A and B are shown apart, each in its own frame.
Chain A
Amino acid sequence: MNNDFKVWQCVVCGFIYDEAVGLPEEGIAAGTRWADIPADWACPECGVAKADFDMVAFA
């Protein structure tokens, strides 16, 4: 079990991108790192840019 997957959150709508889960419905496979998501990708819920996501710290 790889525990170093990170979670990112949209600063506007709270949409969560979890590297472990990916976004299969958008063709982003589970395990895809945040760094490997294209820079022009935007939040599927509200359109906010990738640059405006924050990393979420998990306990």
Chain B
Amino acid sequence: MTTRPEIKTYANLEAAFAGESMAHIKYRYFAKLARAAGDEETAKVFEATADQEVQHAFGHLDLLYPPQELTPAKALEIAIAGETYEYTEMYPKFRETAVAEGNAAAASEMDEQIAESKEHAALFAATLAKAAKRFAALAKVEQRHAQHYSDHLAKVTQRDGQAGERVTA
């Protein structure tokens, strides 16, 4: 753990980074939909903005993870921690919730209090089922990412160790 002091601006930088990152992906998604709809011009507008959001996000990261402090090995450690959180906590919990909500929705299907049409209820159930499946699949992918980063970190650590030996030899 870092001993970063509790400074509001760091939290704001994290939030700004998250916002710019989400905007980037959202605009790329909108561009994809616009292109699929045959509107190339709108797709390009979204993509041009999306590219700028990436640079904004890089700017925030530059302050959150100062390059002069960040060796490749440290970057790998941060990445491993992130992926490990995703596959051990985030996706398993998300999946659990989707399954539970899917079961609850199925159980209350006959409940007259639910004003939704049958069609809407079916769509809702399908969304929950799909989400549960995706969370499970992604947990496995993130686990592989974490493993891949760990393997590479071992390589980098060994390489840097050897380089250090050469320097001191």
Compute how far the CA of A6 lies from the CA of B86 in the bound complex, rounded to whole angstroms. Answer: 33
The minimal Cβ–Cβ distance linking B151 to chain A, given in whole angstroms, is 15
Taking the closest CB of chain B, its distance from the CB of A49, in whole angstroms, is 6
Prevailing SS type, chain A contact patch = loop
Interface string of B104-141 (1 = CB under 8 A from A): 00000000000000000000000000100110111011
Q: Are B144 and A52 in contact (CB under 8 A)?
A: no
Query: A16 contacts which chain B residues (CB < 8 A)?
Result: none
Report Cα–Cα, A42/B136, bound state, in Å: 15
CA distance A49 to B138 in the complex (A): 9
List the A side residues contacting B136 at CB < 8 Å: 52
A12–B145 Cα gap in the complex (Å)? 16
Q: Does A48 interact with chain B (Cβ within 8 Å)? A: yes
Indicate the size class of the contact surface on chain B. Answer: 10 to 19
Residues of B within 8 A of A52 (CB): 133, 136-137, 140
The answer for the CA separation of A4 and B133 in the assembled complex, in Å, is 27
Contacts of B138 in A (CB 8 A): 12, 48
Q: Does A11 contact B (CB under 8 A)?
A: yes
A11 to B130 alpha-carbon distance, docked (Å): 8
Q: Which residues of A contact B140 (CB under 8 A)?
A: 48-49, 52
Q: Beyond the given A11-B134, A48-B137, A49-B141, could you list 20 further A-B residue pairs with CB under 8 A, ordered by the A residue number?
A: A11-B130, A11-B133, A11-B137, A12-B134, A12-B137, A12-B138, A12-B141, A42-B141, A42-B144, A46-B141, A47-B141, A47-B144, A47-B145, A48-B138, A48-B140, A49-B137, A49-B140, A52-B133, A52-B136, A52-B140
25 contacts between A and B (CB under 8 A): A11-B130, A11-B133, A11-B134, A11-B137, A12-B134, A12-B137, A12-B138, A12-B141, A42-B141, A42-B144, A46-B141, A47-B141, A47-B144, A47-B145, A48-B137, A48-B138, A48-B140, A48-B141, A49-B137, A49-B140, A49-B141, A52-B133, A52-B136, A52-B137, A52-B140
